[in-house]
């Protein structure tokens, strides 16, 4: 059991890192701004660390047994947890950016869905790979 907790936390943390890099990259390359969304964070430890830790905590969702054999759908469904929290709690109450972060731009919810899907795909992929025994991996 503890090995699964460590695997899922690690996969979620890696997903948080991947998500953060994509958010930062979109901001740095001006993609977010071109879409009319004011999300362009600086890649700093203060910004990155909580995102990695929360990604690991959200990785515990991988324990939920649904959509077996459909990893892309499962990754999308798992990403709805952090997406809903970001849009309905973090943006309006913690950041003061309005419901769904609409003060940042009308396409903010779509970008958040995409960014968190990156988390879900990364976490799901790594958890799936990490859950296999060395004898299960084709040589």
pLDDT digits (tens, 9 = 90+) for 87-128: 999 999 999 999 999 999 999 999 999 999 999 999 999 988
Does residue 16 register a pLDDT over 60? Answer: yes
pLDDT digits (tens, 9 = 90+) for 127-138: 888 765 433 333
- Give this prediction's pTM: 0.87
For residue 139, the model assigns a pLDDT of: 33
Nearest to 39 by CA among 118, 122, 111: 111
pLDDT band at 67 (very low <50, low <70, confident <90, very high): confident
Rg (C-alpha) for the chain, rounded Å, is 16
Sorted by where each begins, the domain ranges of the chain are 2-64+72-130
C-alpha 105/C-alpha 40 separation (Å) is 12
């Amino acid at each position: 059991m503890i090995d699964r907790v460590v695997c899922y936390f690690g996969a979620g943390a890696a997903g948080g890192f991947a998500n953060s890099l994509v958010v930062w990259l979109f901001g740095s390359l001006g993609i977010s701004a071109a879409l009319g969304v004011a999300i362009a964070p600086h890649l700093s430890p203060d910004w990155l660390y909580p995102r990695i830790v929360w990604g690991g905590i959200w990785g515990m969702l991988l324990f939920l047994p649904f959509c077996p054999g459909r990893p892309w759908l499962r990754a999308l469904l798992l990403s709805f947890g952090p997406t809903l929290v970001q849009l309905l709690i973090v943006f309006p109450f913690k950041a003061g950016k309005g419901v769904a972060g609409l003060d940042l731009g009308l396409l903010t919810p779509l970008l958040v869905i995409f960014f968190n899907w990156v988390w879900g795909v990364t976490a799901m992929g790594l958890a799936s790979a990490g859950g296999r025994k060395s004898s299960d991996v084709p040589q």
